[in-house]
Amino acid sequence: MKTTAEDSAAGEINRLHAEVVRLSKVSADSIHGALVAAWRSGQLLVAAKARVRQSMGGGMWRDWLGKNFRGTQRTAQKYMRLAETVKAGISMGFFPEGTFTRRAGLMPFRLGAFAAAVTAGVPVLPVAIRGARTLLRDGQRLPRHSAISIAIGEPAYPPASAKDAFAAAVALRDIARSFILAHCGEMDAGSNQTPD
């Protein structure tokens, strides 16, 4: 027989679980939204630059940018480079763990690169590097003599069954992490289990 304290604890646990689920989705959606916004801003800036150069001359671009863009010139260049890179179909490399630590093991993957792939409609090509931690340890300046092997997986596309961009990014992340974990020679140092 449950007590009032048990009911209260169960209610609080479920409330907190729902909050974890909500915040996980908000966080991933924020990353996805930022990447989409940067990419789309880059497309618009590239088009605006072409219009300004055609109508006002090449030297007027900086003036136009200073009057019409609230970010820095460097930020505009980054947005434009992102848009041009995606348009050209140039491959971009990401280290989805987002860090390299002394502790051995494959860390959880961040969603940003996978959200960008979903948005751009491009596949993810998982690449596992085995032996890099021995070659260059965290905090070490010079590499050690060590063997490295690289395993390249098949291009991964989000499953057609993905209900939205978030689910597609999670699916791509899981596909890539599964391949890399199987080929990197390190233990699983943290999963990417999405809360139910």
pLDDT digits (tens, 9 = 90+) for 27-61: 656 666 677 788 888 889 999 999 999 998 878 88
Structure tokens at 173: 């992340």
The overall average pLDDT reported for the chain is: 82
Number of H helices and E strands in the chain, helices first, is 6, 2
Q: Where are the domains of the chain?
A: 4-88, 91-196
**What span, in angstroms and rounded, lies between the C-alpha atoms of 72 and 78?**
10
Q: What angle do the packed helices 61-68 and 4-56 form, to 10 degrees?
A: 150
CB 179 within 8 A of CB 123: no
pLDDT digits (tens, 9 = 90+) for 70-95: 989 999 998 899 888 877 777 777 78
At residue 195 the predicted structure's pLDDT band, cuts being 50, 70 and 90, is very low
> Does residue 111 register a pLDDT over 50?
yes
At residue 189 the predicted structure's pLDDT band, cuts being 50, 70 and 90, is confident
pLDDT exceeding 70 applies to what percent of the chain? 87
At residue 11 the predicted structure's pLDDT band, cuts being 50, 70 and 90, is confident
Q: Give pLDDT, residue 97.
A: 81
**What span, in angstroms and rounded, lies between the C-alpha atoms of 138 and 141?**
9
**What span, in angstroms and rounded, lies between the C-alpha atoms of 12 and 104?**
35
With H, G, I as helix, E, B as strand and everything else as coil, classify residue 95.
coil
pLDDT digits (tens, 9 = 90+) for 175-187: 999 999 999 999 8
Q: Give pLDDT, residue 146.
A: 79
Alpha-carbon Rg of the chain, whole angstroms? 22
> Does residue 154 register a pLDDT over 80?
yes
Helix ranges (H only) for 57-164 are: 61-68, 73-88, 112-120, 132-135
